[in-house]
Structure formats: C-alpha cells, structure tokens
Structure 1
Amino acid sequence: MTVLESRQGLEIHHVGKVFSQPGRPDFRALDDVSIRIRPNEFFTLLGPSGCGKTTLLRMIAGFEHPSEGEIRLDGADISVKAPYERPVNTVFQSYALFPHLTVEDNISFGLEMLRRPKASIDETVTRMLALVRMTEMRNRKIQQISGGQQQRVALARALAPHPKLLLLDEPLSALDLKLRKEMQIELKRLQHETGITFIFVTHDQEEALTMSDRIAVMSAGRVQQIGSPRDIYDRPANRFAASFIGETNFVTVKLLTVSATSGELELPGGTVIHAGVPDGVKFSPGKATIVVRPEHAELVGAGAGNLAGTVTNIVYFGTDTHYHLRLKDESSFIVRRQNRHGLSFGPAIGDEVGVLIGEGVAQLVED
C-alpha cells in the first residue's frame, strides 16, 4: 500500500460541543457535525460569526475537546490528544510572530523545538523562504516587514514541519483588499505546491469561492451544505446557503410536478418553467421557493420575459450594473448585467421592464 493510499484524511463524526458556565444555561456551539476532509484538499469552513466554525477548528487543533463524537486523522482518533501530539499547525489572525527575532529565526523556531538536526533546519528554512518568496528578507526583523510579508512568514513557520493539516483561522482579515486578493492566490499556490491539507475558516464568501476545493456552509452550530464552490453557488440546498453565498433572488412559485432532479413550476405571472432540485432534498407539489442569481436573469423590455416589474434603483459597479426592481407582487428582484459596449437596452429608474428567467437557471430550495 502506498503512502497516499494509506491516508484517509480527516473524519469528523457526529461532533458536538457544549460550553457550560456556572449560573448560566449551557451553550451548544456545535450540534451533530459530520464532515470528511480528503487528503491534500483545500477545505473551507464558511459561515457568519457565532456559527461554530472557529470552535470546530480549535477542536481539530486540540485547543478544545468534543462533548460528543470523535475526530479521526488517517483512521486514528485524535479527539483526546494534546495539541503538541497532533501533526497539525495553525496560523492565527494575529500571526503570533516573535518581534525580536529575524524572519529566518521565526521560521526555524518550531523546528528547533522539535530538535531537528541543524543541517535539516537550514535546508528547510531556505526551502520555505523560497516557497513564500521571502529569500531576500531572511535577516530582517519582523518590525521591518509589512503585514502581508508577516503573514508569509507565519505561513512558512507553520509549513516548515510539514504537518498533515494546516489550519488557518481568518488569516487574511487584517490585510487591505488588494493584498488580500493577492494572498488568496498565494495560499492556493502554497497548498498545491506543498500537498498539505488546508482547513480555512472565514466569513468571507469571495475568499471561500476563490480558494476552496470544497466548502462547508455552517449556521447555528450545524453544517447546512457541503460541496464545491460551483455546487454551493449554483445549487444551494436551502435558503440560508443561497442567501449567504453571494446575492440572490427568492421567488415564491407554484410547484406543479417534481422529480429527483427537476421541478416544473409556475411563476407569479403564469409562465411555466423548469428548475433544478438540490441533491437529496425532497419537495412536494404546492407553494415553493426558487432562487435565481442576479446574473442568471435577463433584463428585457416591458411586456416581454416571464416576470414584470419597475426599476427602483440602478447601481454601477464598473464591470457590471445592478438593476433593482419591484415586481408586480411588491417583492424585490435584482438583475446584474455586464457592462459591454453595444448594449441597446438600458432602462432608467421608474421604467417598466420585463425579466426573463430561462430554463434551468432557477433552483428550488428548502425554506
């Protein structure tokens, strides 16, 4: 059996976490969470503040222990092991670098604590500096480098012992927008080049969509959906997943017939179209909800399309324009149009317009 065949990844089985304080009701931070994270995967835990994602990350690291369930790494139960007994490293928001040490000394510190041979340490540090593109700054003090460079040093230090898992707790949150986007690409490159499993925690949807192989959307201590970025965005399982990932429109419809993969439905204006069905979710004919992403709907002239509304606001974003509409049933709807030369139809605020929802672009969701 090869090394890769023997690796099973991280398996989280029915994990729960309850925090107790004297004189206060118990607080359940995690409720029956089960996730399998594959070896060499960039996996993201995504959700709002208080959803349990950081608690789960701390349990993987060993800083917290499950109230129930277990966590297994390559088949071995690590639920009760101390942090230093786990082949896991963590990069925190604050980076936690030693300001009095040089870049090189920060990276070598963990290896020295592991009592690695000096020649091996020197070789590893040189390799890590090259990996994070910091070779020329190896002798700089931490106070002498920028925030983005400090983050690279923190990553190099965490990667140096070559852990099985690298845990990243919102490490990009302190960076400005341009640097954050650059580091999103760098993180994905580092994960690909090292082959280490990255588990990334964020509340930023764009970060999750940009970097992840798969995403677990979390809310109120439970996993709402697990899937690839495209699956999560195009085929959300429920209203929370649809609303948390990007902008979306919710439309109340009449579901006429439904199968495991498709539903025939009637829009408020009477038009009949077909919509997708999320995997494993069962629907019955009757009142239902569909989601339509703003860029998947088309703005057309009044009297055309299969929904009718009035333009209430227009927001220009450079690359595209968002048209905010009020439909005939007083619900709101957004259409996103890419700004291209030669567009012949550009409505103004107050204009009556039509909206075209094509076959297969809508998705049924659980409320």
Structure 2
Amino acid sequence: MGRSDLSSAISVRNLRKVYQGSPPVVALADASLEIADNEFFTLLGPSGCGKTTLLRMIAGFESPTSGTLEMFGENIVDLPPHKRPVNTVFQSYALFPHLTVAQNISFGLEMLGKPKDEIKATVDEMMELVQMTAMADRQTSQISGGQQQRVALARALAPKPKVLLLDEPLSALDFKLRKEMQLELKRLQTETGITFIFVTHDQEEALTMSDRIAVMSAGSIRQIGGPRDIYDHPAERFVADFIGDTNFLEAELVSATGQTAEVRLSSGKTTMARAQEGTEGKGMVTLAIRPEHASLSGEGEGILAGTLDNIVYFGTDTHYHVALDDGTAFVLRQQNTPDAASQFEKGSRVGVKFGADVAQVLRD
C-alpha cells in the first residue's frame, strides 16, 4: 500500500460503533472527519466520549458497526492491524524492562525480519531523534518515566509507519515533564513528517501541539478546527465550556446579520457580538466571553455592573470574581506586570467591559 498523492491520510465517513447489550451502548455515532497527511490531529474530549474507540478502529483493534474508514485512499475496514501502516503508543509504554534502550527500539524491526545493518542504522537514527543515544545500553527499568516515554516513541517510529496513534501517552508524567514532552512530540512530528493522531482529555495538550482538533462528546464530534478557531469561535456551549474557562451570560437576541448579532444583556444595555452564520430570529441566547477578554472598570462605565467578590493572585495573572447584579458569576483574568497594583478592592462596586469582537453568541 504505497503512499498516494492524496492529501488525506485518514478519511472517516459516518463511522459508528455500537456495543450490544440492554440497552445497546453507542460508543461512536456517525463520526465523519478528514485527517491530512503530515498533520498533528487531536481527538479531545472527556472520558467516555468515543475518542479512544475511534483511535482503536483506526488501529484495527475494533471493528465499526457501520461506516467507512480509508487510509491514503484505501478502504481498511477489513484490513487486520498488522497490515495497516500504523503504530501505536499507549498510556502504558509496555517496554521490556530486562532489555536495553537499543534492544527495545530494535525489537519490532527484528520481528519484521529486517537486515541487521538496517536495524542498527534505524536504531541509531531513532535514538538520536529522541535524544537517547547516551542511554543506549541502559535497561529501561533503570531510566526515568520521561526517558521511557521517549523510548516508546522511538520504538513506535522505528518501522517508519505512515500514521502514529498516541493514546494519552503523557498522562503518567508529572506536570513539568508533560509540558516538555508536549513540545518534544510536536518537534518529532514535524521532523518525521508522519501523521500523528493524538488522544487526550487535556485541553492544554490539545491547544499546545495540534494543527487541528476534533472536540468530542457522547460519541459525537462536536467541532473540528485549529486551536485558535476552537478557542475563539466555539460552535456550541459544550465546546466553549470544555475548552478553557468561559463566562456564560443569558442575553436577548435583538437582530442578526451574517456573522454579527445585536444582543440585549440583563443590564438592559445592548452590544454587538459574533454569531454563527444562520443565526436569526428573536429569543434568548447564550453569550460566551473568555475571562481574559473582559476588563474591570468603574461601576458606571461598564456594560455590566456588580460587586467584586474575590481577587485571586496566580503569579502570572490575577482573577477577579464578580457577582453581577442579575446573580450571574463572572470571572475576569488580567495579566500581572511587575509594578501593577490593583485599583479595585474586594467588596467594591465595579463595571465589566468587553468588546463586540470577543463575545460569541451560542445557540444550544
């Protein structure tokens, strides 16, 4: 199965997975997506959303109930896992503790019957790629978790798969090491040119590494887009709520034209906001505003007013918790500077301001 000229590495159309039972469990409901060749694509969502089920079907470990699944233009629904040009890195690295780093990396190549000189050259290349050359003769039981993760990646990359599947491989690492490995994974994907499909429930991982993200919930794909698009232009309330922190305001839709809407807030004031194409009519809608896109002002200067309930210092920024006059909680996040001192005190009356270009109208 040679690489074709198609730009699409993975094509999923109406893929469905139902586990029989009383009642049947729909793990994946008519999922459709295209993953480009040489793309870092992330399946993001909470536990039980179907992301791992989809990954396992791409790997060949699960069979779909219905739908089509193509890889580089070829239908692979009935193709067994060992005949698919993919490799997988799991949460558990599944390394052989009694073997050295080099032996772990070479194991899969030996099973494929590759010539010894080719195996050595590939192992040397992979160790250099993941910066583990100095550890070649160490047993994997004698290296750190982060180093084990690098070995698992090198072993998966050694056979030069066309697609690498990664099932939450960073979840066992501590916070600092996880941050380092996020950048490392993106570097590896860029350098190898292999399509990476990454599964995670961690929004920061998805935003940091991905070219595009598919946000999933309850077996369905809710939105696909680049990190900035997903964050700044969520298609629905679930996406806005799951990706980062968001303030939700109830508002009345006054009018809508194209991708712009006029809404009336609980304060009685109106503002312009972004809207999805096709938004029309009247009635109540939800307005989403990110905490960093709003600012505090004097009570009479804002589009909303309330009482400053709490001020929380986070080092890099400060969070201001405001109880709006309609009872809604609103959080603002402002970056700290060395000489910054808040002009607002806990318990004071304040206003909340935000621009028309940052408020997003959502229809559930």
1:338 to 2:313 alignment: no
Report Cα offsets for 1:177-200 as digits up to 9, x if no partner: 000000000000000000000000
Alpha carbon RMSD of aligned pairs, Å? 1.4
Question: Displacement of 1:3 after TM fit?
Answer: 5.8
1:348 aligns with 345
Q: CA deviation at 1:7?
A: 4.5
One-letter amino acid of the counterpart of residue 255, structure 2: T
Query: What is the aligned partner in structure 2 of residue 235 from structure 1?
Result: 233
Q: Which residue of 2 aligns with 1:16?
A: 16
Secondary structure, counterpart of 1:15 in structure 2: strand
Match of 2:104 in 1: 106
Residue in 1 that maps onto 2:120? 122
Distance change (3 Å), C-alpha of 1:4 and 1:353: farther
Q: Which residue of 2 aligns with 1:185?
A: 183
Deviation at 1:270, TM superposition (A): 2.5
Match runs of 1:1-367 below 5 Å: 5-21=5-21, 24-278=22-276, 282-343=279-340, 345-367=342-364
Structure 1 position 46, deviation (Å): 0.3
How far did residue 305 of structure 1 move?
A: 1.1
Distance 1:259 1:116 in 2: 62
- Alpha-carbon offset, residue 8 of structure 1: 2.6
Structure 1 stretch displaced more, 340-349 or 43-52: 340-349
Distance 2:7 2:268 in 1: 54
Q: CA deviation at 1:326?
A: 0.8
Which SS does the other structure have where 1:149 is aligned?
helix
Q: Secondary structure at the match of 2:8?
A: coil
AA paired with 1:97?
Answer: L
Deviation at 1:342, TM superposition (A): 4.3
- Percent sequence identity is 60
Equivalent residue letter for 1:13: R
Deviates more, 1:252-261 or 1:180-189: 252-261
Q: What is the rounded CA distance, in whole Å, between the counterparts of 1:270 and 1:159 in structure 2?
A: 59
SS in 1 for 2:77: coil
- 8 Å Cα contact 2:4-2:73 kept in structure 1: no
Return the alpha-carbon distance in structure 2 between the equivalents of residues 290 and 4 of structure 1. Answer: 45
SS at match of 1:154: helix
Q: Secondary structure at the match of 1:45?
A: strand
3-state SS of the aligned residue for 2:344?
coil
Residues in 1 aligned to 2:257 and 2:132: alpha-carbon distance in whole angstroms? 55
User: Aligned partners of 2:28 and 2:270: how far apart in 1?
Assistant: 41
Q: 1:96 to 1:281 in 2, by over 3 A?
A: farther
Contact 1:237 1:281 in 2 (8 A): no
Q: How many residues align?
A: 363
Aligned partner of 1:361: which letter?
Answer: V
Deviation at 1:117, TM superposition (A): 1.2
Distance 1:241 1:283 in 2: 21
Per-residue deviation at 1:272? 2.1
Q: Provide closer, same or farther for how the CA distance between residues 38 and 281 of structure 1 changes in structure 2, counting only shifts above 3 A.
A: farther
Gaps of 5+ in 2: none
Which AA in structure 2 matches 1:319? Answer: T
Q: Does the CA contact (< 8 Å) of 2:274 and 2:356 recur in 1?
A: no
Unaligned segments of structure 1, at least 5 residues:
none
Q: Secondary structure at the match of 2:171?
A: coil
Secondary structure of the residue aligned to 2:267 is coil
TM-score where L is the length of structure 2 = 0.97
How many angstroms apart in 1 are the aligned matches of 2:136 and 2:6? 37
1:91-131 Cα shifts (integer Å, max 9, x gaps)? 00001111111100100111111111111111111000000
| Cα pair distance change 1:129/1:281, threshold 3 Å | farther
1:123-149: CA deviations, max 9, x gaps?
A: 111000000000010110011100000
Distance (whole Å) between structure 2 residues aligned to residue 141 and residue 3 of structure 1: 36
Cα distance in 2, alignment partners of residues 75 and 3 from structure 1: 9
Instruction: Classify the secondary structure of the residue corresponding to 2:248.
Output: strand
Say if 1:297 and 1:356, in contact at 8 Å, map to a contact too. Answer: yes
SS at match of 2:356: coil
Relative to structure 2, which stretch is displaced further, 221-230 or 255-264?
Answer: 255-264
Q: Give me the whole-angstrom Cα distance separating, in 2, the residues matched to 1:238 and 1:253.
A: 15
What SS does structure 2 have at the residue aligned with 1:348? coil
State the 1:282 CA deviation: 3.3
